Amino acid sequence: MAPNIASLLCYICMPITSIIFLIIEKENQDVRFHAWQGTAFGVGYIVLIIALEILAAILGAIASVLGIIIG
């Protein structure tokens, strides 16, 4: 596979495809760089989504308690 296509595919379904390219590609450092970067972005995105879900649950609980108190 062409290195530029492999580098592009690292970002399609992060971090799954990035990890696959980390396992498969051993020699091309450019593809490995994009695979590591895609993995980092993918994991960071998952952590961010989990943190926002927790924050939304906490704010929802606070809003419902305030609604009961005020209403």
The pLDDT, as a whole number, for residue 71 is: 78
Q: What confidence tens digit (pLDDT) does each residue in 43-69 have?
A: 999 999 999 999 999 999 999 999 999
On whether the pTM is more than 0.95, the answer is no
Measure the CA–CA gap between 14 and 6, rounded to whole angstroms: 13
The answer to whether the CB of 57 falls within 8 A of the CB of 65 is no
Distance CA 42, CA 13 (A): 8
